[in-house]
């Protein structure tokens, strides 16, 4: 494993990390995964505690932080969306200083990226971004690990992202691909491409890493690709009244069996989850009643197929989050 020292660093977005540092975190996660599978104890931080702030709901990220903290021997405190003073009665700067005096690390999931950046500015302990509107960096480590496990390498892998590419997951996948020398193609209605500013940054990175960044409104642009990825069409915190326009704009970019058949023979399907691929959710049922559609960003057929690695990807959230905490606290 490369000699990289991340002690004391925040983990706010992948843009802040070099390809070597990202590879180091992936190697560390793979190592922890093996230890976990072999039942080898790695409770190396028995005197440490972490605070987990969630201003939006979560299943995977919360559970990953809690299980990973426990496996590393640490205590954790979950601060639920309505369970703290943050933002309502207490500023981010004051919260950061209070929590940093009691905890060794702070996870934050919430709204604007500037909030987590502000938290980190005032915290003397590492801050980890558990998702903001703009970025979802811990998800990226899990996605990269899953791709590397499947193909054995990352450089040159062609990932096509369908749907809402201008939010946390789409933005972050473009950055992840740029950093790791991969080929990223956003395939969507052009209203949903990432911002020009972020595209420019990624193209600059790509020049150094050999990555390619491209955009298309044609679903056939995914021909022969290695990874097909998507995310929900309306993200947490967005108003309900965007659904109608989103469905109209993004229905042509649903991941279907045709999309997967057009991709490479070994292509895999990825999704950060949760996903609306059937009617077994309250939101899924509500959208069916209102707009008459049974599936949204991906068909149930693709989601449940052998090509779908979504549950491996979800498991890798825990191993990679453990690597982030370990590397920044050790």
Nearest residue (CB) to ligand CP, 36 versus 271? 271
CA-to-CA separations, 200 to 18, 122, 174, in angstroms, rounded: 17, 29, 11
Q: Closest distance between ligand CP and the C-beta of residue 59, in Å?
A: 4
* Active-site residue, from 139, 148, 249, 271: 139
* Residues contacting residue 67 through CB under 8 Å, at least 6 positions apart: 318
- Residue 308, classed as helix, strand or coil, is strand
- Stretch 208-247 residues interacting with ligand NVA (CB under 6 A): 231-232, 235-236
Nearest residue (beta carbon) to ligand NVA:
235
Mark 261-290 with x for binding to ligand NVA (rule: CB under 6 A) and - for no binding: -----------x------------------
Angle of helix 168-179 relative to helix 196-209, nearest 10 degrees, comes to: 20
Q: How far apart are CA 184 and CA 147, in angstroms?
A: 13
Nearest residue (CB) to ligand CP, 107 versus 213? 107
Tell me whether residue 225 is one of the annotated catalytic residues.
Answer: no
User: Residue 46: which of 75, 76, 66, 68 has the closest Cα?
Assistant: 75
- Residue 3, classed as helix, strand or coil, is coil
Binding partner of 167, given ligand CP, ligand NVA, none, CB within 5-8 angstroms per partner class: ligand NVA
* Active-site residue, from 9, 60, 62, 136: 136
Tell me whether residue 166 is one of the annotated catalytic residues.
Answer: no
Q: Are 103 and 125 contacting, i.e. CB atoms less than 8 angstroms apart?
A: yes
**Secondary element (H or E) of residue 289:** helix 282-291
Tell me whether residue 158 is one of the annotated catalytic residues.
Answer: no
Q: How far apart are CA 209 and CA 203, in angstroms?
A: 10
Q: Are 160 and 222 contacting, i.e. CB atoms less than 8 angstroms apart?
A: yes
Nearest residue (CB) to ligand CP, 142 versus 219? 142
Tell me whether residue 136 is one of the annotated catalytic residues.
Answer: yes
Query: Which pair of tokens denotes residue 123?
Result: 């915290």
* Active-site residue, from 9, 60, 109, 277: 109
Q: Are 95 and 86 contacting, i.e. CB atoms less than 8 angstroms apart?
A: yes
Mark 158-177 with x for binding to ligand NVA (rule: CB under 6 A) and - for no binding: ---------xxx--------
Binding partner of 209, given ligand CP, ligand NVA, none, CB within 5-8 angstroms per partner class: none
Binding partner of 168, given ligand NVA, ligand CP, none, CB within 5-8 angstroms per partner class: ligand NVA
Which DSSP string do the residues of 90-124 spell out, in sequence order? B-HHHHHHHHHHH-SEEEEE-S-HHHHHHHHHH-S
Tell me whether residue 317 is one of the annotated catalytic residues.
Answer: yes
Q: Which residues bind ligand CP (CB under 6 A)?
A: 58-61, 131, 139, 272-273
Q: Closest distance between ligand CP and the C-beta of residue 146, in Å?
A: 12
Q: Are 188 and 253 contacting, i.e. CB atoms less than 8 angstroms apart?
A: yes
Tell me whether residue 218 is one of the annotated catalytic residues.
Answer: no
Nearest residue (CB) to ligand NVA, 104 versus 295? 295
Write out the catalytic residue numbers: 109, 136, 139, 231, 272, 317
Residue numbers of the site for ligand NVA (CB under 6 A)?
Answer: 131, 167-169, 231-232, 235-236, 272
């Amino acid at each position: 494993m490369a000699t990289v020292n991340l002690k004391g660093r925040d983990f706010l977005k992948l843009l802040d990390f070099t390809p070597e540092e990202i590879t180091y975190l992936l190697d560390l996660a793979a190592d922890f995964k093996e230890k976990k599978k072999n039942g080898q104890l790695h409770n190396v931080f028995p005197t440490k505690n972490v605070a987990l702030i969630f201003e939006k709901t979560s299943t995977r990220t919360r559970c990953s932080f809690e299980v990973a903290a426990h496996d590393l021997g640490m205590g954790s405190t979950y601060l639920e969306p309505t369970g703290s003073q943050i933002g309502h009665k207490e500023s981010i700067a004051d919260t950061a200083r209070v929590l940093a005096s009691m905890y060794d690390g702070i996870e934050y999931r919430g709204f604007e990226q500037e909030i987590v950046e502000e938290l980190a500015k005032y915290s003397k302990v590492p801050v980890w971004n558990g998702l903001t509107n703009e970025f979802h960096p811990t998800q990226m480590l899990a996605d990269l690990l899953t791709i590397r496990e499947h193909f054995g390498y990352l450089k040159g892998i062609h990932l096509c992202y369908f749907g809402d590419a201008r939010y946390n997951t789409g933005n972050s996948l473009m950055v992840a691909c740029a950093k790791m020398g991969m080929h990223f193609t956003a395939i969507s209605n052009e209203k949903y491409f990432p911002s020009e500013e972020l595209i420019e940054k990624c193209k600059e990175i790509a020049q150094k890493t050999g990555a390619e960044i491209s955009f298309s409104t044609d679903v056939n642009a995914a021909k022969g690709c290695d990874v097909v990825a998507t995310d929900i069409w309306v993200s947490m915190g967005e108003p309900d009244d965007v659904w109608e326009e989103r469905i109209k704009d993004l229905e042509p970019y649903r991941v279907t069996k045709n999309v997967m058949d057009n991709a490479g023979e070994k292509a895999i399907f990825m999704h950060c989850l949760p996903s609306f691929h059937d009617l077994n959710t309250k939101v899924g049922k509500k959208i069916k009643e209102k707009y008459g559609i049974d599936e949204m960003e991906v068909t149930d057929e693709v989601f449940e197929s052998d090509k779908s690695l979504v549950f491996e990807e979800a498991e890798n959230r825990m191993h990679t989050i453990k690597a982030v905490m370990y590397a920044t606290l050790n």
